[in-house]
Copies of this chain bind each other. A is one copy, B any other.
Amino acid sequence: MSVRKTIYDVAVLAGVSEATVSRVLNNNPRVSAENRERVLTAARALRFKPNAQARLLAGGRPHTVMLVHPTSSKPPTWYFQLLESGALRACGQHGLRLQNHFVFPDSVRRDAAILHPVDNGECDGVVLAAPFSDDPLIIRALQLRHIPLILLASGHATRGLAAGVGMDDEAAGYEMASYLLKLGHRRFAFVLGLKDHLSAAERFDGARRALSEAGLDASAMPGLEGGLNFDYGFDAFHRIMASGYRPTAVICANDESAAGAIHAAHQHGLCLPRDMTITGFDDAPFARLLSPPLTTISQAIDTMAARAVDILVDVIKTVDRPYETVKPRLVVRASAAPPRD
């Protein structure tokens, strides 16, 4: 159809050289305000889209953003898939490439693994996903290198350290517990993540705040430490039942562990949600496929990742950005019901 416009077309229409067009497109400050204006309007008029391939070839810079993510099982989990798809979408719009960098969170060489591509000049900026975004040491190391940095889904402790996006986990926990309190629940259990998983801990804090405002003390919601997966949720639920304590609602720190808890509950012969309320966090793609379909809190992970890239390009252009927080959204499905008694 319509032939693709090049930088040359824009230059002609704007009455400047191609170099000048390139400069304004790359936010180079050495351009007069007037020329910048002319180029911008010309580009807009021609619906000009820079050819990403050519930029990569010509530029000294890699024009790529590095997404650092913990190594996980193969094939990649839904979480990473959503992260990537959101980031990819935003990268496409900005003419950037996405380089996925998987690193083992527990490796002794994790810092080196993250720093190496940066020192090697392979990227223009990095977005650090959890749990790396919770580590002040690697954040500091990255900042010493003056590489634009975005924190994704970090815990409160590191949010002041760099630009980023994350959910308000405390509010999420508060919202979930408030909902369950409204349903009439008074005896809870909370299935936590590993202790270095800060957002799980914040969800717990938020839930406790809700209970405390309702006049309940901490003993109304014991927390069980462990991990954020199916097996752990399964195990945690069995431990609760074995303890003799009988909550009417079990809040799990993510949807995978909630799935495990649901399975354990079925094994105990419980009829859900009549005999027990079980909830998750994240609104994973499978949440609506569980039995019963899971009541949870939506994270909009792909949107967050896209936002992270948007913020990163601002940071690359040296515009200041605060840490952004997105509001949790309760997704009511069938796994939460009023307590039986």
Partner of A81, one of B57, B81, B272: B81
**Is B286's CB under 8 angstroms from A262's CB?**
no
Contact indicator B120/A1 (Cβ below 8 Å) = yes
Could you say which of A37-45, A70-78, A163-171, A317-325 contacts chain B?
A70-78
Q: B57, B76, B230, B266: which contacts A289 (Cβ < 8 A)?
A: B230
**Minimum CB–CB distance for A285 against chain B, Å:** 6
Minimum CB–CB distance from A298 to chain B (whole Å) comes to: 12
Q: Flag the segment in A21-29, A48-56, A187-195 that touches B.
A: A48-56
List the B residue with the shortest CB-CB distance to A334: B263
Q: Let me know if A307 is at the binding interface, CB within 8 A.
A: no
**A293 within 8 A of partner (CB):** yes
Verify if A94 is at the interface (C-beta below 8 Å from B). Answer: no
* Chain B residues positioned under 8 Å from A259 (CB to CB): 289-291
Cβ B230 vs Cβ A75 within 8 A: no
A160 within 8 A of B: no
Does A215 count as interface, using CB distance less than 8 angstroms? no
* In the complex, chain A residues 262-293 whose Cβ is within 8 Å of any chain B Cβ: 262-263, 266, 269, 271-272, 285-286, 288-293
- Whether the Cβ atoms of B263 and A293 lie closer than 8 Å is yes
* Identical subunits present: 2
Count, chain A residues at interface, CB 8 A = 33
> Contacts A51-B57, A53-B53, A57-B53 known; A285 to B85 CB distance under 8 Å?
no
Please, which residue of chain B has its CB at the minimum distance from the CB of A291?
B263
A14 an interface residue at 8 Å Cβ cutoff?
no
Within 8 A of B (CB), among A129-154: none
The answer to whether the Cβ of A312 comes within 8 Å of any Cβ in the partner chain is no
Task: Check B78 against A285 for contact (C-beta < 8 Å).
Answer: yes
Candidates B57, B81, B291; contact of A262 at CB < 8 Å: B291
* In contact, A289 and B256 (Cβ under 8 angstroms): yes
User: A302 an interface residue at 8 Å Cβ cutoff?
Assistant: yes
A75 near B285 with CB under 8 A, answer yes
Q: Which of A81, A260, A269, A289 has the most CB of B within 10 A?
A: A289
Chain A residues with a Cβ under 8 A of chain B: 1, 51, 53-54, 56-57, 75-78, 81-82, 85, 120, 230, 256, 259-260, 262-263, 266, 269, 271-272, 285-286, 288-293, 302
